[in-house]
Amino acid sequence: MTTMTEASVREFKMPDVGEGLTEAEILKWYVQVGDTVTDGQVVCEVETAKAAVELPIPYDGVVRELRFAEGTTVDVGTAIIAVDVSGGAAPEPAPAAPAESAPAPAEEAEPQGRTPVLVGYGVAASSTKRRPRKGPEVAVAAVPAGLNGHGPAAPAAAPVKERPLAKPPVRKLAKDLGVDLAQVVPSGPDGIITREDVHAAVAPAEPVVEAPVPAPAAVPAPAPAVAGYDSARETRIPVKGVRKATAQAMIGSAFTAPHVTEFVTVDVTRTMKLVEELKQDKEFQGLRVNPLLLIAKALLVAIKRNPEVNASWDEAAQEIVLKHYVNLGIAAATPRGLIVPNIKDAQDKTLPQLSAALGELVSTAREGKTSPAAMQGGTVTITNVGVFGVDTGTPILNPGESAILAVGAIKLQPWVHKGKVKPRQVTTLALSFDHRLVDGELGSKVLADVAAILEQPKRLISWA
């Protein structure tokens, strides 16, 4: 990788977008080599171990180099983009792909720098001299000829072999299928490799099965050989980003905090009626009102009645830290994996405020825009496994927290009500807690209080 030495070129390094994060994966570049950028403009999106974050550039200039391709994991503090801040005559040109030095031939070599723009790459800048907008057939022969052993008669083909033209989604497809783009014959305009080209590159493995030959004798014979996910029986997915962080956190929690889980099945018919009534209340107009809202409020009231459950274990100091605030975590399943953002100081929020906070938290998580700060400092968590039709579970504590409440599916079931068996809406709650902090009595009281409130939601008023 070429290092820029010109005074007018500034390098933007991968920042620590969370507390103590050491690396991040570049998900998407929003700029290309030669683009003009302004202070505060978002240039890329990266994924840390906690969330996807957009990175703004802190100065004006012209992009000279993109140091890493999409999908690359980069250490914090490593330069990822170089920007020419001089505002001189060199903004329009894109740097050459193969040339790393030799400023003299830069005037003619740089036109081929358009090649890596399509794949998000950029390499060393050569010179700030203007370049003519001519075709790429002159003066580049010296570099590719040395690299590929071809004569000067075919200089234009050499860069294509070295850095094939392909858009980021196509490049990712090739990587997933194990296809070397240098060996793919392009069919797109200007020699661009398409998705069909990549699929065609792996297709030869299928025709070799000789399906037409056994077909007359036994049609099922070729089917097993062809039927498969791209002819592969297994797919290996790199463990990184949110999935990697979740795995490490769960292992750490499961083998550090002694877990105890208690269960209770409760009639929530009155709570469901209250949910329907609140939906018609003008105070909740435009807000999300669902059972999770009242379950969250019930847990907050139960914590207020049993404050010792809201604590953490300080192993280094050998102390129990009682929290006088509740940062209520809500486990959310996203395409990138499980995340647990939390509502800060949830104990101080009114029911409409809590509803608004829950709605914002869920929508932000679904969009993949949850910030690392939103997932730090949680004290207790709710996980709603009922949305998947599951009755209950034994949830694992979020690291550093004392308890997590799992809410099962709410179903119409036969239930003894006022001495008679009637169909009632019933759910099962499960509370896991750290037995170093919470003993059986305290955990049972918290779970019983939550159940009592959901059975008789008027207790939200009498116990609040």
pLDDT tens digit sequence for 149-171: 444 444 444 443 456 777 666 77
Place of tokens 């159940």: 451
Residue 412 or 173, more confident:
412
Distance separating alpha carbons of residues 112 and 52, to the nearest angstrom: 33
The predicted model gives 363-370 an average pLDDT of: 84
Contacts of residue 310, Cβ cutoff 8 Å, sequence gap at least 6: 303, 322, 323, 326, 379, 380, 402
If phi > 0 it is left, if psi is from -120 to 50 it is alpha, else beta; for residue 350 that is beta
Contact between 125 and 4 (Cβ < 8 Å): yes
How large is the average pLDDT for residues 26-33? 91
What pLDDT does 413 receive?
Answer: 95
Q: What is the pLDDT of residue 162?
A: 53
Which token pair is 430? 């499960």
Say which range, 169-173, 177-181, 316-320, has the weakest mean pLDDT: 169-173
* Helix locations, 66-206, DSSP H: 106-109, 114-117, 142-148, 157-162, 168-177, 195-202
Q: Which residue has the higher pLDDT, 154 or 64?
A: 64
How far apart CA 91 and CA 35 sit, in angstroms, is 8
With 90 as the cut, is the pLDDT of residue 136 above it?
no
Q: Distance between CA 437 and CA 306 in Å, rounded?
A: 13
Q: Is the predicted pLDDT of residue 226 greater than 70, yes or no?
A: no
* Catalytic pick among 150, 199, 259, 435: 435
Confidence (pLDDT) at 231:
65
Residue 143 confidence (pLDDT): 37
The H-assigned helical ranges of 70-221 are 106-109, 114-117, 142-148, 157-162, 168-177, 195-202
pTM across the whole model: 0.56
**142 has a pLDDT exceeding 80:** no
- Give 240's pLDDT tier (boundaries 50, 70, 90): confident
The secondary structure element, H or E, covering residue 356 is helix 351-366
Nearest to 179 by CA among 159, 194, 157: 194
Report residue 203's pLDDT band, with 50, 70 and 90 as the boundaries: low
Average pLDDT over residues 86-111: 44
> What tokens appear for 203 in the block?
């297709």
What are 260's strand-pairing partners?
Answer: 433
User: Which pLDDT does position 6 carry in this prediction?
Assistant: 65
pLDDT at 332 over 60: yes
Q: What is the mean pLDDT of residues 111-122?
A: 36
111: which DSSP letter? G
3-state secondary structure of 332: strand
Instruction: Write down the pLDDT at residue 328.
Output: 97
Average predicted confidence (pLDDT) for the chain = 77
pLDDT tier, 230 (very low <50, low <70, confident <90, very high otherwise): low
Show the tokens assigned to 283. Answer: 């105070």
Residue 315 identity: E
Decide if 324 is catalytic: no
Give the DSSP H/E element, type plus range, for residue 272: helix 269-279
54 has pLDDT over 80: yes
Q: CA–CA separation, 320 vs 341, rounded Å? A: 23
- Which run of H or E residues covers position 279? helix 269-279
Using a pLDDT cut of 70, give the percent of the chain over it. Answer: 71
The DSSP secondary-structure symbol of 229 reads: B
Is the confidence at residue 106, as pLDDT, over 80? no
